[in-house]
């Protein structure tokens, strides 16, 4: 309830739209999409993908990519192909240096003495073996080193030739224990993402990984909190525990496999709308992210089927579908296809979209595009989301027609618990929306998920109804961007105005509560700019709206001018290094530590703030060779949160040291 109300998933233009489910579409179109979407089909795809252990550059990923390519082809997307982009530790995609792939065959962890028993076997338990582990056959004593990341964790303990048990981040434990102290390998109970349910399930085994850049990796086995606590207790009691670890796995040059397919457009086919999902992660990785992969496949199948059947016309713009190894695949693909990035008007990214609240504890979020890149896709998404929420509520509260309630047989019957919120980091949209590629995206994501990145992210936690609703939502938004006739633009404009009015009202409240009059003026100025940019993006797609949007822009506004900044303003103008395209963090690649060294201090006050990941990403997005540090600060303050100019300067100085920007 709180989530829905807080961000205003509230009826828009109810009166104007009384005759329509979605104000800017005739019922025939919403009906045609609804009739094709099948939540059960999406759930079947989740189960099939979940059988593959889908680590970047691994045979499991390749098999999943082949499965998706084949199903897209079967669905009638005849241009479906797999692009294989080198992942070899040398090939760069702009600044991003690719990393090696991994070919795991088999691994066992046994206790040799005093209690001979099997502890874990890969692939029976796919997460048992940390990614990028390599060949070994070691029988050795186990030593508890706590976190295992600082010299003090080791003290006088001799770990040479032994196995250690550690709870710190795996690549750092490998460095401290194996590379610096000669340990043979280790066991890890590195904790999972923190949620309110953390620690409740002591049998969760986390998916872990060593560094894919470290070619001399030995191995790590992942154990549950229950297993590690038992081992720690025995070691603390003075017991000598000897384990045998056998690993058959190799790191090797491989490829980032990107599956792509399109529904070609007609008269504006040169413009594209994109739907993306990352196909990777551990087996089963049902919600993260077989769910998003299955949902965009269902969008592809449903829209293609409607076009083939003639219940929908061919879209004007091309709709492209991309299944990628998370972030790294998006970066590699976009660097290789700058023309497609330029031709893409907007998109939808789906990452974790099928969880049942009862098991995953997650609610569904639609994040708007970046504040640096406002787009009408945000308001289109809002309109479609409202219809799904309303239909689901009506059905949950009153029963009756499950079809009208967007429920699928064997799926759940609950209300669609969802909200619309600002941009958040965490997946491929970070690459698409980055200033170098500039594709505005809405981001669909369940959060939190108590099972994320563990052995318990399983298909049985997922819901055919939710997957169906999400696929319907994605199909509706994509279809609007690709196919809404120009004649419907006035209705879309009305919907967009209503949504922007609500956003402006919220910005005005923030301004009224801001302590500083200049910051208050900035908040008002930026809200007007966001509204203007959103309406202009609408006019760019639907020419009939151009005149109205221009008129509106020309109308005098009661926005007060912004006073000059007080003393302490920073007039320096940062300029981007053209070789750095895309985000600085590309999955396992961290550009700042690549340039400044692994032990360099890249912490900044801006990054440590609440929402610091977004603020730092946006600070770089706002570097355009014209804005000064002060002006970047002003935009961040107006669109996100009041930040001191010194914090923005500190961050941009760090980027200058790493040669990501230079000073004009
Ligand atoms: Zn994910």
Counting other chains too, the contacts that 498-502 makes at CB distance below 8 Å and 24 or more residues apart are 498/12, 498/13, 499/12, 499/378, 499/379, 499/382, 499/383, 500/379, 500/530, 500/531, 500/534, 500/535, 502/8, 502/10
433 CA distance to ligand 1 middle (Å): 17
Residue with tokens 């086995």: 221
- Nearest alpha-carbon partner for 111 in 243, 303, 283: 243
**Cα distance between residue 566 and residue 183, in whole Å:** 57
213 CA distance to ligand 1 middle (Å): 21
pLDDT at site 353: 98
pLDDT at site 552: 84
- In the chain, % helix, strand, coil (3-state, to 5) comes to 40, 20, 40
pLDDT at site 17: 46
469 CA distance to ligand 1 middle (Å): 19
109 CA distance to ligand 1 middle (Å): 28
352 CA distance to ligand 1 middle (Å): 6
Distances (CA, A) of 157 to 138, 162, 240, 291, 347: 19, 11, 14, 45, 53
Q: What's the chain's average pLDDT? A: 95
| Strand, helix or coil for residue 418 | strand
Assigned token pair, 290: 């077989």
Assigned token pair, 450: 């108590």
**Cα distance between residue 114 and residue 112, in whole Å:** 7
Q: Please spell the DSSP secondary structure of 325-340, one letter per residue.
A: STTHHHHHHHHH-HHH
Average pLDDT over every residue of 586-603: 94
**Cα distance between residue 102 and residue 129, in whole Å:** 12
Measured at the CA of 90, the angle between CA 84 and CA 91, to 5 degrees, comes to 40
445 CA distance to ligand 1 middle (Å): 8
Whether 16 has a pLDDT exceeding 90, the answer reads no
**Cα distance between residue 347 and residue 369, in whole Å:** 9
CB burial readout 348-361, b (16+ within 10 A) else e:
bbbbbbbbbeebbb
**Cα distance between residue 317 and residue 188, in whole Å:** 49
pLDDT at site 10: 40
503 CA distance to ligand 1 middle (Å): 28
- A 10 A CB-CB count for 338 gives 12
Confidence category of residue 566, pLDDT binned at 50, 70, 90 = confident
User: pTM here?
Assistant: 0.96
370 CA distance to ligand 1 middle (Å): 19
Helices then strands, counting H and E runs in the chain, come out as 22, 21
Strand partners, 239: none
Phi, psi at 92, each rounded to 5°:
-110, 145
Model confidence pLDDT, tens digit, residues 128-145: 999 999 999 999 999 999
Residue with tokens 């200033």: 435
446 CA distance to ligand 1 middle (Å): 10
pLDDT at site 3: 39
Q: Considering the chain, what percentage of its residues have pLDDT values greater than 90?
A: 93
């Amino acid at each position: 309830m709180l989530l829905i109300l807080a961000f205003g998933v509230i009826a828009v233009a109810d009166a104007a739209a009384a005759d329509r489910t979605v104000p800017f579409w005739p019922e025939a179109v919403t009906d045609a999409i609804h009739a094709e979407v099948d939540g059960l089909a999406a759930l079947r795809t989740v189960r099939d993908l979940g059988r593959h252990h889908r680590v970047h550059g691994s045979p499991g990923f390749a098999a999943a990519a082949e499965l998706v390519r084949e199903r897209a082809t079967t669905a009638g997307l005849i241009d479906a192909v797999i692009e294989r982009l080198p992942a070899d530790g040398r090939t760069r995609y702009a600044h991003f240096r690719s990393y090696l792939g991994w070919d795991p065959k088999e691994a066992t962890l046994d206790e040799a003495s005093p209690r001979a028993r099997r502890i874990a076997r890969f692939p029976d338990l796919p997460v048992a073996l940390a990614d990028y582990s390599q060949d070994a056959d070691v029988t050795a004593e186990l030593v508890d080193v706590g976190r295992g990341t600082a010299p003090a964790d080791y003290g006088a303990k001799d770990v040479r030739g032994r196995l250690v048990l550690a709870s710190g981040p795996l690549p750092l434990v490998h460095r401290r224990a194996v590379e610096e102290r000669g340990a043979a390998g280790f066991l890890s109970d590195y904790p999972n993402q923190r949620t309110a349910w953390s620690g409740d399930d002591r049998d969760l085994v986390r998916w872990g990984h060593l560094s894919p850049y470290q070619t001399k990796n030995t191995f790590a086995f992942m154990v549950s909190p229950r297993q590690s606590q038992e081992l720690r207790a025995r070691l603390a009691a003075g017991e000598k525990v000897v384990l045998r670890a056998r690993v058959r796995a190799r790191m090797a040059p491989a490829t980032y496999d990107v599956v792509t397919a399109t529904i070609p457009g007609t008269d504006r086919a040169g413009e594209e709308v994109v739907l993306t999902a990352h196909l990777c992660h551990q087996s089963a990785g049902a919600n993260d992210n077989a769910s998003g992969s299955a949902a965009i496949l269902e969008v592809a199948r449903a829209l293609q089927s409607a076009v083939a059947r003639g219940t929908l016309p061919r879209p004007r713009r091309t709709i492209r579908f991309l299944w990628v190894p998370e972030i790294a695949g998006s970066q590699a693909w976009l660097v290789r296809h700058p023309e497609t990035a330029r031709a893409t008007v907007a998109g939808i990214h789906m990452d974790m979209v099928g969880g049942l609240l009862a098991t995953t504890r997650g609610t569904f979020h639609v994040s708007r595009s970046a504040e640096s890149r406002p787009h009408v896709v945000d308001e289109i998404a809002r309109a479609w989301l409202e219809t799904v929420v309303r239909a689901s509520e009506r059905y949950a509260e009153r029963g009756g027609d499950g079809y009208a309630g967007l429920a699928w047989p064997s799926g759940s019957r609950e209300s669609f618990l969802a909200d619309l919120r600002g941009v958040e980091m965490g997946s491929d949209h970070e690459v698409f929306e980055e200033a170098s590629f500039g594709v505005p995206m809405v981001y669909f994501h369940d959060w939190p998920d108590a099972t994320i990145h563990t052995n318990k992210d399983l298909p049985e936690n997922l819901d055919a109804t939710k997957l169906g609703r999400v696929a319907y939502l994605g199909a509706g938004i994509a279809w609007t961007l690709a196919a809404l006739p120009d004649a419907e633009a006035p209705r879309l404009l009305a919907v967009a105005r209503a949504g922007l009015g609500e956003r402006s009202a919220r910005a005005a409240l923030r301004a009224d509560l801001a302590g500083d009059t200049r910051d208050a003026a900035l908040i008002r100025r930026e809200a007007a700019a966001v509204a203007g940019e959103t309406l202009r993006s609408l006019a760019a797609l639907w020419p009939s709206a151009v005149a109205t949007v221009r008129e509106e822009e020309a109308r005098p506004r009661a926005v007060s001018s912004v006073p000059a900044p007080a003393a302490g303003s920073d007039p320096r103008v940062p300029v981007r290094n053209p070789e750095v395209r895309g985000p600085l963090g590309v999955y396992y690649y961290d550009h700042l530590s690549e340039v400044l060294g692994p032990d360099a201090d890249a912490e900044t006050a801006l990054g440590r703030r609440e929402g610091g990941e977004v603020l730092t990403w946006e600070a770089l997005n706002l570097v355009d060779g014209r804005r000064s540090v002060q002006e970047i600060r002003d935009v961040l303050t107006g669109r996100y949160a009041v930040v001191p100019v010194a914090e923005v300067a500190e961050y941009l100085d760090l980027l200058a040291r790493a040669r990501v920007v230079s000073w004009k």
